[in-house]
Homo-oligomer: A and B are copies of this chain.
Amino acid sequence: MNKLVNSLREAIELSGLTDGMTVSFHHHLRNGDFVLNMVLDQIAQMGIGNLQVNASSLFDCHLPILEHIRKGVVSGLQANYISAGPGRAISQGILEKPVQFRTHGGRPRDIALGNTPIDVAFIAAPASDPMGNCTGKYGKSACGSLGYAMADAMYAKKVVVITDTLMDYPLQDFSIPESYVDYVVCVDAIGDPSGIVSGTTQITRDPVGLVMASHAAKVIEASGLLKDGFSFQTGAGGASLAAAKFLKEIMLKKNIQGSFGLGGITGYMVDMLEAGCFRNLLDVQCFDLKAVESLRNDPRHMEISAMHYAAPAVRSSVVDNLDVVILGATEIDTDFNVNVHTDSNGYIMGGSGGHSDVAAGSQLCMIIAPLFRARLPIITDRVNCISTPGKDVDVLVTQGGIAVNPKNKELKARLTDAGLPIIDIHRLKENTEKITGIPKKITKGTRPVAEVLSREGQIQDIIYCIGKQE
């Protein structure tokens, strides 16, 4: 018995896919992914239409989906993140039905609860055996963790694994077991390695970024949370990575051993593991080659599912035990609501990903952002889109000072005692506007192009159409 079929077309035929069904994709191949386009092209050729696409994220490499939307092959979209390329077209109203944005924890929650049933899941697997035992750790397109694909594999009615590295049965060190997989297709390439993971992620050298990073590390040091057992997540942005570097120096100097680093994992987190700053890494997604290699070889570095990472519906997820997270923002308002969905002109160019999950779960959620970008201030009266509600955000670190959410009196006292430059967020906004001027409000349309769902599945905000297609 084996599940190898001769072509993607055959797998789609066998899956029983018909008009109006829901197909799903994961984004571990990031901006190097070939699979989503390959599958949608094939579906279009087969004349199937009106598809609902549930993709954990869409990147600019997925721009061809716009043509499939125009032609009616795809008529609905759910995602946790949509990059600026496809985001712009969606903001301009290319889809009749609003996109549903979820979080990395909310997506597997809704899949598991049956709220968003998947008819056919297409799983890009860097290595698979002919029965579908598969993993992201090996193969020419290795991406590391397959954490975001696990709920799809577990709950979809049909599961198609697409690989470019076929291994002997049984695949050692599988991440997804054959028990979930219906068909396996071997293709020439599932992705472009240079787009899947960056060779290295770079720490910022920008002086503004370094000031923020230094502040961020000091906030953590002064927070009272930095002690043995400390747990930490940070993004892959340059300033966040610099903050991790400063934090590492503090932890080594003070001989503090943390329990775990979490999240999308970069080589800098691997450095911290290897230096003894953490006992373990819990990895839902690898950002660079060093992280992939570490996940493959170091048993302290563990792959986890998106459910285990961040889902609010399960008995617990790792974010519930997270001490500190450093996150970014495109906008933050004076109530500490954060926007990571739209740019300052209101165009979709991101999404929560795990942003609001880790913000909700962590003890200390820190936003790190420059006061302005391209002369547009970051702090506003009201963000254009509430991606993460202000109640889950504790502190904003900028080059012009550190603003503490008023709900956190104790944190404010600690940071003040530590001599850090604490400033009221309204004052910080005013100071910025003295430099940038007060920006014009953007004119939102009236037609909804996206619903932003909270991690528990409630509508949290609506994103409206921009430009001519309203």
Contacts and interface: CB of A to CB of B under 8 A. Distances in A.
A369 B314 CA distance: 48
Interface of A: 1-3, 131-132, 159, 168-170, 172-174, 177-182, 229, 259-260, 279-280, 282, 299-300, 302, 304-305, 307-308, 311, 314-318, 320-321
A179 B1 contact: no
B300 A172 contact: yes
11 contacts: A1-B320, A3-B316, A168-B229, A168-B259, A170-B259, A170-B282, A172-B280, A172-B299, A178-B316, A178-B318, A179-B305
A173 B299 CA distance: 7
A320 B2 CA distance: 9
A170 B3 contact: no
Given A2-B321, A3-B316, 18 more contacts: A1-B320, A1-B321, A3-B315, A132-B315, A132-B316, A159-B315, A169-B321, A170-B280, A170-B282, A170-B302, A172-B280, A172-B300, A172-B302, A178-B316, A178-B318, A179-B305, A181-B315, A182-B315
Contacts of A300: 172
Contacts of A169: 259-260, 321
A166 to B, nearest CB: 14
Number of copies: 2
Contacts of A181: 315-316
A155 to B, nearest CB: 12
Given A305-B177, A308-B179, A316 B131 contact: yes
Nearest to A282: B170
A378 B341 CA distance: 72
B177 A304 contact: yes
Contacts of A168: 229, 259, 279
A178 B308 contact: yes
A392 B314 CA distance: 40
A349 B308 CA distance: 40
A259 B129 CA distance: 12
Given A132-B315, A182-B315, A308 B177 contact: yes
B3 A279 contact: no
Nearest to A154: B154
B179 A314 contact: yes
Contacts of A318: 170, 178
A259 B169 CA distance: 7
A269 B2 CA distance: 25
Contacts of A1: 316, 320-321
A170 B315 CA distance: 15
Nearest to A311: B179
A330 to B, nearest CB: 30
Contacts of A299: 172-173
A300 to B, nearest CB: 6
